[in-house]
Structure 1
Amino acid sequence: MFGRFGSALCLIPLIASTLLADDPASLPKVVLVGDSIRLSYAPIVAEQLAGKAVVIGSKANGGDSSNVLKHLDEWVIREKPDIVHFNCGIHDTKRFTATGKFQISPEQYEANLREIVKRIRNQTDAVVLFATSTPIVDHLAAAARQGRDYELLEASIRQYNTIAVRVMKELSVEVNDLHAVIATPAAPHTSGDFIVLDGVHLTELGKELVGATVARFVHDRGMASSSAKNP
């Protein structure tokens, strides 16, 4: 599945010999947290890491950062994960046309991210990984949401991603830049190959690309760190 994207997304050759096991209880547990984008690529992550990690995640859309925080015990803490790969951001950036206000203000978004990381670290031994929010195609998103009371804009995604990257750097959390993966893909692809006509969600090709990227990131940045913490 990685082959169509070239060597940058090659199969993960190193983990087969070191982490392959028949007993799921002996495998690292990976929890994926996020919105409908995460729901769309999660099966690919599970497929790529089959036999190497147990990949789970809530069947519910994670929504905005306040909702993730609200459900953190249910979705993350109780699972006692080894690795958490999470995102929130697109729902946070919904800007209501009547007031010009975001669903979650930039200040509250930052506070929520800090609290999410703090609680995961305080209540589990998990390695925490963060993923940036994927791009919005403004004109497509606007056309698909005519008549709704909010708008989604790429400028807002970039604003909130900037906040998130700064926070994660301060907290020493590795960042999986999924925004860049879609916005600036390797030739011959363009970002239009990966986003459907609603301007937000991923095409099948986009799901494959992001799923492969997450699987590789979880291995390279998560599994190695988890093994070091829990030899």
Structure 2
Amino acid sequence: MNHLTRTYTSIFLFVLMLTTAVGHAAEIEKKKQRPKSQPNPAFVEFKDIPSLPRVLLIGDSISIGYTIPVRKLLEGKANVHRPPTNCGPTTRGIAEIDGWLGKGEWDVIHFNWGLHDLKYMGPDGQNRTDPNAPDSRQQVPIDQYKTNLEKLVTRLKQTKAKLIWRTTTPVPPGSQGRVPGDAAKYNAVAKKIMDEHNIEIDDQYAFAMQRLEELQRPGDVHFTPKGSEELAKQAVTKISNALAE
């Protein structure tokens, strides 16, 4: 390589490094200028009004969807809290229930687990796999679900709060990783436990089944904003009755 070629090569490499550095700096600056994603309003810390009773909502993304509507409907009547997370399957409930309950006292606890228990997972933890695949399995098989739910009910009863079990909402056809009809099976197991412990049931499964096309997203376990508002009304009816007692 002659002197001129080495010089051109050096210049080219210098320009390439400079361009890369400038581009990297520009990308960092863009990231700084991007607005931070807003937290889910349902997860924002709720400040109690001391004179009002305290209500705790425990549940999956369905409950996240109706948290804010429940708060609005009970505004001035109750302090409505929830864990700042998706409460997932019963296995997560057992692991984290003490933290979710905290040290304060609760007047009413409205709770559910189910949709995450019955969904199908792959052998390496893949989420929402094909239920018909030979290596797929439900995240929490129904027998283990029964055992876990009994443990959770025992823990919740220690709070002395009025307990309300919310049935698991329907799985529609086309919902990835779940099988229509499984929610009813898991609900049947849960109902036996709730009846044994004399726990009130908010049957949102039956409520939603009558209006699925109107309230639920097609091929999806989640509900439209209107659907979440309707579920909230159903929950508030049960919660208000419990508070009145």
Tell me the amino acid that sits aligned with residue 50 of structure 1.
Answer: E
- 1:131 matched to 2:166? The reply is yes
**CA distance in structure 2 between the aligned counterparts of 1:133 and 1:86, rounded to whole angstroms:** 10
Describe the SS at the equivalent of 1:154: coil
Matches within 5 A, 1:85-96: 85-96=110-121
SS at match of 1:109: helix
1:208 & 1:78 partners in 2: Cα distance? Answer: 30
SS in 1 for 2:155: helix
Please say if 1:38 is aligned against 2:63.
yes
Equivalent in the alignment of 1:28? 53
1:113 to 127, 149, 171: 149
Query: Is contact 1:77–1:120 with CA below 8 Å preserved after alignment?
Result: no
Structure-1 separation of matches of 2:104 and 2:183: 30
Distance 2:185 2:120 in 1: 13
Over the matched positions of the two proteins, sequence identity in percent amounts to 29
- In the TM superposition, 1:59-208 aligns within 5 A as 59-96=84-121, 97-122=133-158, 124-139=159-174, 141=175, 145=176, 151-184=177-210, 190-208=211-229
Root-mean-square deviation (Å): 1.5
SS at match of 2:114: coil
1:138 is aligned with what amino acid? P
- State the aligned residue count: 187
User: Which residue of structure 1 aligns with residue 27 of structure 2?
Assistant: none
Gaps (5+ residues) in structure 2? 1-47, 122-132
Larger Rg: 1 or 2? 2
Q: Counterpart of 2:232?
A: 211
| CA distances 1:89-142 after superposition (whole Å, capped 9, x unpaired) | 0000013433353111111111111111111222x2211110001111122x1x
Do the aligned partners of 2:173 and 2:219 also contact (CA within 8 Å) in 1? Answer: no
In structure 1, C-alpha distance between the alignment counterparts of 2:74 and 2:215, rounded to whole Å: 22
TM-score, scaled relative to structure 1:
0.77
Displacement after TM superposition at 1:46 (Å): 0.6
Amino acid at match of 2:227: G
Write the letter of the residue equivalent to 1:175.
Answer: I
User: Structure 2: which amino acid aligns with 1:166?
Assistant: K
Q: Residues 199 and 52 from structure 1, CA distance in 2 versus in 1: closer, same or farther, beyond 3 angstroms?
A: same
Structure 2 distance, partners of 1:198, 1:76, is 34
Kindly provide the amino acid, as one letter, of the partner of residue 116 in structure 1.
L
Letter in 2 for 1:223: L
Residue 210 of structure 1: CA displacement?
A: 0.1
Q: TM-score, normalised by structure 2?
A: 0.73
